[in-house]
Amino acid sequence: MKKLINDPKDVVEEAVAGIGAAHPDLLVVSHDPTFVRRASGPVAGKVAIVSGGGSGHEPLHAGFVGHGMLSAAVPGPVFTSPTPDPIVAATQAVDGGAGVLYIVKNYTGDVLNFETAADLAEAEGITVASVLVDDDVAVKDSLYTAGRRGVAGTVVVEKTAGAAAERGDSLEQVAEVARRTNAATRTMGVALTAGVVPHAGEPSFTLADDEVEIGIGIHGEPGRERVPLEPVDRIVDRLLDAVLDDLGTASGDRVLLFVNGMGGTPLVELYVAFRRASEVLTEKGVQVTRTLVGNYVTSLEMQGMSITVTTLDDELTELWDAPVETAALRRGR
Amino acid sequence: MKKLINDPKDVVEEAVAGIGAAHPDLLVVSHDPTFVRRASGPVAGKVAIVSGGGSGHEPLHAGFVGHGMLSAAVPGPVFTSPTPDPIVAATQAVDGGAGVLYIVKNYTGDVLNFETAADLAEAEGITVASVLVDDDVAVKDSLYTAGRRGVAGTVVVEKTAGAAAERGDSLEQVAEVARRTNAATRTMGVALTAGVVPHAGEPSFTLADDEVEIGIGIHGEPGRERVPLEPVDRIVDRLLDAVLDDLGTASGDRVLLFVNGMGGTPLVELYVAFRRASEVLTEKGVQVTRTLVGNYVTSLEMQGMSITVTTLDDELTELWDAPVETAALRRGR
Amino acid sequence: MTLDSTWARRFVERAADTVSENRAALIELDREIGDGDHGENLERGFSAVRAKLASQPDDATPGALLKMVATTLISTVGGASGPLLGTAFLKGAGAIGDATEIDSAAVAAFVAAARDGAVLRGKAEVGDKTMIDAWTPASDAAKAAADAGGDPTSVLRAAADAAADGAASTEPLVARKGRASYLGERAVGHRDPGAQSSALILAAAADAADDVAAAAATTSGEA
Amino acid sequence: MTLDSTWARRFVERAADTVSENRAALIELDREIGDGDHGENLERGFSAVRAKLASQPDDATPGALLKMVATTLISTVGGASGPLLGTAFLKGAGAIGDATEIDSAAVAAFVAAARDGAVLRGKAEVGDKTMIDAWTPASDAAKAAADAGGDPTSVLRAAADAAADGAASTEPLVARKGRASYLGERAVGHRDPGAQSSALILAAAADAADDVAAAAATTSGEA
Ligand SMILES: Nc1ncnc2c1ncn2[C@@H]1O[C@H](COP(=O)(O)OP(=O)(O)O)[C@@H](O)[C@H]1O
Ligand SMILES: Nc1ncnc2c1ncn2[C@@H]1O[C@H](COP(=O)(O)OP(=O)(O)O)[C@@H](O)[C@H]1O
Ligand SMILES: [Mg+2]
Ligand SMILES: [Mg+2]
Ligand SMILES: [Mg+2]
Ligand SMILES: [Mg+2]
């Protein structure tokens, strides 16, 4: 294992300290319990938004704390959901009296820990609503699985919900925007190589030199199938077909196209992939009216990418366009 | 070689097409010759800035085209300087009559090709000034080398020069800001693994599992020495010592601290490194007044990072803070 | 014969030891069909539990000690296993209440309540390839042993053995809950890490009872 | 004996062939002490040159053909070698002017002007471990051969052989120019890719002259 770290046990704490040192204008970091909140503090009467989950997916979530997006982020250990305590502490730190929305990626651990946190926060008199993100079409959503995973679409949900909170929507309304965004969003990913969890010291899985994993999850969970490495145009087609099929995208639809890097893929490759995806959509008569390309929801040093499509209407477009000022996404401020 | 590409020969053209498709609000792409320019076109009376160089360092340079930074970027083949033709074409496309500044990273190929382009552009009646960026302290600047390389500090030079051009400085003044920024900037990098140039198909160099290359260049050129992998705090100290020593940084100085990822390093590790660097500077009485963390000047999928320090005065701070609206750096707009 | 807080303390120590010894093995199981953190998660939790043990009042009841385990796991483990095992211990401790001496029926009630707690939170059934595949047979075996008049030690041993079999029984299964459910058929042939760790923890409980019984025998022999 | 545009065309084809055949070897040399693109760069350039050759007018002079090589290399190769080799061909073509027949002195003047052009742009000296270590001895040997009364073919062969020796002579050197200069002592033991490719190109020039001579011999023998 080759990593720019000290003791694997200290990675998250040290990274969070670094996030605090790097963005003092945007963020304040709390240690013990560990969470990251907006430097500006709670705004009375405005809904606050808290998200979190295992670390190793940076900039998710701390990189999206700031005006127009999250009020606080709660990073757990690498690939492990945080416990309820820091979630409750973050909730108390950002509540402005109008309630707190939890944006939770749909993994058993995240669901259970945020559930407990919500119970504890409600016991402290804070109103909490929760929205699950489950955009990953690689997993069948059936009684026979833990349900779809929340992956790159989380960024889109955090952005639109954040904008809704910023414009003064009620907790119910913000939650509705988040749910609607999630319902309009689908993602599928591919991995070329695995990430290495610091405390494990070994790659999470092994792929042959000519093999890729289609439908990878962001913890390196396997996906739909392993296929031989193909030209990226073919891989994009596979991912996009699954996404559009599930979303029921039709000619004339307006969409956000988001090509997300898994952390170890050069940006130049993400742009090559974006080119294909946007060409295919255009050929199908779909209008790509908003775009995002980059490493936003990563899986340590995994090489790979995911493709996310969100169906946009006027309101979601407006919320996507709204000013945002965070470490990883900034626009209009 | 595992890459999300089609034919290695098409990587740059396809990526540039992707950049155009992803940022239609910011950029316009020209093919044959290949360059990327601001969507807004030349502004009469304002100095234009053109930079470029081999591809594989994305988001450099195309990711910095836009308001407050570059007017155009000219990407060459992977790790190879562009030829004069596209540089001249880009120069003609962005000239607003007030002259064009070339920001050139100090490599023989870039220097020679931009030199020829400048001659040709001048022959077309366009006034051109050139500034070399050579921030890499790993290389001795002596008669016995090609001189220092231009690495991550290029982003800082492009930012301050871009802001100077935007506020209406003359060509001479913009060039002076660029030179002054370069003179105030030093960088040193480290590699844990090598990038793979698509047409080569093999890693540019090989490091043992417990070895790192201190003083790496962004084309995978070797640096000062190979040392055993150490805790990142030690590695940061090595890089920072060399940078501060060369810069002559003293207690009380105000600086920009920039931790740059080489493309394949997880962001979480960059923040761990940033934490150490900012701690060390603070201990030395140096004020970290501006910060940047992320993958800005990369070397394909290389794992590693560089540390850049720029000594700031009031003017450089103001130019750094000025609004910028590009694919990779955005603030205040 | 009954079990008291000496047993509960010994149980906690043994559980922390076994989790620590099996850290790498649990990581490996989880790497195969999950995300490779289960051993790390539990070790983080049980070392926190061990650290708190020393500061528990001398007169802490078994129920109080096991509740401390529950809240500590909930607040340190994270992931799926933290809330699930934590709730199991919480409900198990609740079943024991503030009794200072725990008889066979109480032991069986502890295991049953623990199982029910984990089911309540995780909604898994037997055969879903989760820790429930260890806890459910353990609970059944504990009840059977207690009903048959076994002493607390033998009730715990029955539970532990059944849990071990239950953990082994997950190997041929396709998972329907947790991260392994994403794998479909590819999970077949791998043991569920949470079932394995639950079996280890129940073995620690039985071993602790053995320790206590052995110590009692020595003491009475010497007396 | 003199060389004409048949030679120049043959030279260009041979140069394109040898660059193509040695693409991988040149990449490998550059990977060791540079950035691994030299073979790719030259192949891109010489295939563009080859593509343009067919469309050159039948009456194109050798100088015009070599000038086409120059401008094509400058506008397609990039990197350090593009401007340097391009300038070498540009200045070399200038030395030949619009002559249709090139004698030994003109051949020597071509090589000398090419060398001077590369030195002008790159400011390297012999011993800096660059292509100049091939061009300078080539230029000296060409002049000596011409002064000694050799025919154009033998002048080119003398230049090519000296360039090959010059390329080999770069192996023990520390580089003082170009990317290899960053390596310090670590460049020792590696041959400079640009010196190697320059030697290959000069060998192509000599081989082309041999081809022309052989064709002439056949024709005159048959005639
Ligand atoms: N719904 C559930 N009900 C019961 N047990 C579950 C459930 N989901 C997961 N588990 C258990 O949790 C274990 C995984 O724990 P752990 O690796 O610590 O957390 P995570 O899956 O969040 O990484 C699985 O092996 C399984 O036994
Ligand atoms: N200043 C210089 N003068 C002469 N030749 C040089 C100089 N710098 C570099 N070269 C030659 O260029 C070669 C490298 O060319 P190439 O790999 O195509 O370009 P780059 O170094 O830009 O990647 C070197 O091997 C060397 O022979
Ligand atoms: Mg986990
Ligand atoms: Mg190059
Ligand atoms: Mg796990
Ligand atoms: Mg090269």
Per-residue confidence in pLDDT tens, chain D, 223 aa: 899 999 999 999 999 999 999 999 999 999 889 988 999 999 999 999 999 999 999 999 999 999 999 999 999 999 999 999 999 999 999 999 999 999 999 999 999 999 999 999 999 999 999 999 999 999 999 999 999 999 999 999 999 999 999 999 999 999 999 999 988 888 999 999 999 999 999 999 999 999 999 998 887 765 4
Q: Which residues pair with A78 in a beta bridge?
A: A55
- The answer to whether residue A219 is catalytic is yes
With a 6 Å cutoff on the Cβ, whether C157 touches ligand 1 is no
| Mean pLDDT of the region A239-266 | 97
The residue count of chain C comes to: 223
pTM of the model: 0.94
Structure-token pair, residue A8 = 């694997």
H helical segments located in chain B: 11-22, 84-94, 108-123, 153-166, 171-183, 232-247, 267-283, 314-321
Residue with tokens 């260009």: D12
Instruction: Check if B107 contacts D (Cβ < 8 Å).
Output: yes
Which of A267, A270, A320, A324 would you mutate first to test chain B, the one with the most B CBs within 10 A? A267
Q: Other C-beta atoms within 10 Å of C74: how many?
A: 24
pLDDT in tens, A171-213: 999 999 999 999 999 999 999 999 999 988 888 788 999 999 9
Judged by DSSP in three states, B225 sits in strand
Instruction: Check if A289 contacts B (Cβ < 8 Å).
Output: no
The partner residue sitting opposite B144, judged by closest CB among D80, D81, D176, is: D176
Q: How many angstroms away from the CA of A52 is the closest CA of chain B?
A: 15
Q: Give the chains touching D; criterion: ≥3 Cβ pairs < 8 Å.
A: B
| Mean pLDDT of the region A315-332 | 97
Q: Which residue in B202, B201, B196, B245 sits closest to B219, CA to CA?
A: B196
Structure-token pair, residue A331 = 């626009």
Which residue minimizes the CA distance to atom 18 of ligand 2? D38
Q: How far apart are CA D74 and CA B113, in angstroms?
A: 8
What pLDDT does residue A222 have? Answer: 76
CB A55, CB A324: distance < 8 Å: no
| Cβ within 8 Å of residue B208, ≥6 positions away | none
The residue count of chain A comes to: 333
What pLDDT does residue B2 have? Answer: 94
Structure-token pair, residue A320 = 């996507």
Residue with tokens 């933290």: C82
Q: How far apart are CA C192 and CA C186, in angstroms?
A: 13
Measured over the CA atoms of residue B167, residue B170, residue B171 and residue B174, the dihedral's sign is negative
Judged by DSSP in three states, B301 sits in strand
Residue B167 CA, distance from chain mean position: 22
With a 6 Å cutoff on the Cβ, whether D81 touches ligand 2 is yes
Judged by DSSP in three states, D86 sits in helix
- The answer to whether residue A199 is catalytic is no
CB B65, CB B326: distance < 8 Å: yes
3-state secondary structure chain C: CCECHHHHHHHHHHHHHHHHHCHHHHHHHHHHHCCCCHHHHHHHHHHHHHHHHCCCCCCCCHHHHHHHHHHHHHHHCCCCHHHHHHHHHHHHHHHHCCCCCECHHHHHHHHHHHHHHHHHHHCCCCCCCCCHHHHHHHHHHHHHHHHCCCCHHHHHHHHHHHHHHHHHHCCCCCCCCCHHHHHHHHHCCCCCHHHHHHHHHHHHHHHHHHHHHHHHHHHHHHC
Q: How far apart are CA B158 and CA B68, in angstroms?
A: 9
Residue with tokens 């002048």: D155
Q: What are the angstrom distances between the C-alpha of B5 and each of A152, B293, D27?
A: 21, 27, 20
Residue with tokens 């394949």: B264
What pLDDT does residue D223 have? Answer: 44
With a 6 Å cutoff on the Cβ, whether C132 touches ligand 1 is yes
Q: How far apart are CA B330 and CA B308, in angstroms?
A: 20
The one-digit pLDDT tens for each residue of chain B (333 residues) are 899 999 999 999 999 999 999 999 999 999 999 999 999 999 999 999 999 999 999 999 999 999 999 999 999 999 999 999 999 999 999 999 999 999 999 999 999 999 999 999 999 999 999 999 999 999 876 666 778 999 999 999 999 999 999 999 999 999 999 999 999 999 999 999 999 999 888 887 889 999 999 999 998 887 788 999 999 999 999 999 999 999 999 999 999 999 999 999 999 999 999 999 999 999 999 999 999 999 999 999 999 999 999 999 999 999 999 999 999 999 998
CB contact under 8 A, D83 and B113: yes
CB A81, CB A29: distance < 8 Å: no
pLDDT in tens, C145-171: 999 999 999 999 999 999 999 999 999
Strands B185-191 and B211-214, by their bridges, are antiparallel
CB B308, CB B152: distance < 8 Å: yes
Q: How far is the CA of B210 from the centre of ligand 5 (A)?
A: 28
C179 vs A269, which has greater pLDDT?
A269
Q: How confident is the model at residue A61 (pLDDT cuts 50, 70, 90)?
A: very high
Judged by DSSP in three states, B290 sits in strand
Structure-token pair, residue D191 = 């041959």
Q: How far is the CA of C120 from the centre of ligand 5 (A)?
A: 20
| Strand arrangement of the beta sheet that strand B304-311 belongs to | B225-228, B211-214, B185-191, B304-311, B254-261, B287-294
CB B257, CB B284: distance < 8 Å: no
Q: How confident is the model at residue C139 (pLDDT cuts 50, 70, 90)?
A: very high
What pLDDT does residue C201 have? Answer: 98
Is the pLDDT at A93 greater than 90? The verdict is yes
Closest-lying ligand 2 atom to the alpha carbon of residue D79? 22
CB contact under 8 A, A109 and C83: yes
CB B146, CB D181: distance < 8 Å: yes
Strands B72-78 and B100-105, by their bridges, are unpaired
Strands A185-191 and A211-214, by their bridges, are antiparallel
Q: How many angstroms away from the CA of A223 is the closest CA of chain C?
A: 7
| Cβ within 8 Å of residue B153, ≥6 positions away | B133, B135, B136, B181, B182, B185, B186, B187, B258, B308, B310
Residue by residue, DSSP assigns D161-179 as HHHHHHHHHTTTPPP-SSG
What pLDDT does residue B333 have? Answer: 85
With a 6 Å cutoff on the Cβ, whether D85 touches ligand 2 is no
Q: How confident is the model at residue A143 (pLDDT cuts 50, 70, 90)?
A: low
Q: How far apart are CA C84 and CA C130, in angstroms?
A: 11
pLDDT in tens, C11-64: 999 999 999 999 999 999 998 899 889 999 999 999 999 999 999 999 999 999
CB contact under 8 A, B80 and D31: no
Q: Which residue in B186, B189, B192 sits closest to B243, CA to CA?
A: B186
What is the maximal distance between C-alpha atoms in chain A?
Answer: 55
Burial of D152 (0-12, 13-18, 19+ CB in 10 A): buried
Q: Other C-beta atoms within 10 Å of B237: how many?
A: 15
**Phi and psi dihedrals of A164, rounded to 5?**
-65, -45
Q: What is the dihedral of CA D165, D168, D174, D175, to 10 degrees?
A: 80
B164 vs A144, which has greater pLDDT?
B164
> Which helix or strand (DSSP H or E) is residue B188 part of?
strand B185-191
With a 6 Å cutoff on the Cβ, whether C152 touches ligand 1 is no
What pLDDT does residue C223 have? Answer: 43
**Phi and psi dihedrals of B30, rounded to 5?**
-110, 135
Closest residue in A to C84 (Cα–Cα): A112
Q: Which residues of C touch A138 (CB under 8 A)?
A: 182
> A104-120 burial, b if ≥16 CB within 10 A, otherwise e?
bbbbbbbbbbbbbbbeb
Of all residues in chain C, the percent with pLDDT exceeding 70 is: 99
With a 6 Å cutoff on the Cβ, whether D76 touches ligand 2 is no
Q: Which residues pair with A294 in a beta bridge?
A: A260
CB contact under 8 A, A55 and B268: yes
Residue B169 identity? D
Residue C209 CA, distance from chain mean position: 14
Q: How far apart are CA B199 and CA B78, in angstroms?
A: 8
Q: How far apart are CA B28 and CA B42, in angstroms?
A: 12
Residue with tokens 């069986």: C108
| Mean pLDDT of the region A23-36 | 97
Q: Give the chains touching B; criterion: ≥3 Cβ pairs < 8 Å.
A: A, D
What pLDDT does residue A146 have? Answer: 78
pLDDT in tens, B171-216: 999 999 999 999 999 999 999 999 999 988 888 788 999 999 999 9
What pLDDT does residue A78 have? Answer: 93
